[in-house]
Structure 1
């Protein structure tokens, strides 16, 4: 992303009190510290690239079902 990184986006969304917006991080940086940082900032799920579209579909549906 050209102006902010993914962790900054998570922080912005959560700082605006948008608790109902599910955040699924898609990243090539799958090191444990990156995953844990994303969860600490408020991410709901994390997938490492490359990923299966079938798995992405399942995870998105699960996140949306949890928000209902």
Structure 2
């Protein structure tokens, strides 16, 4: 029973130390890099692909600046 409690206590301490050591404050001069294109998530690429796919499927979609045509996809 004591060994089980000791191992549970040791695991809990390791978990707490691991969580606390991963916290870091971002300095003001480092925040400028977060707005760069390379630092953004890749959701923009996915949205561009979906918008391109939708423009071929939907002939009525407009104002996207891309190729437009009928809904048949024969462009």
TM-score (norm 2): 0.22
> Which protein has the bigger strand share?
1
> Which protein has the bigger helix share?
2
Structure number with the bigger relative contact order (C-alpha 8 A, sep ≥ 6) is 1
TM-score (norm 1): 0.23
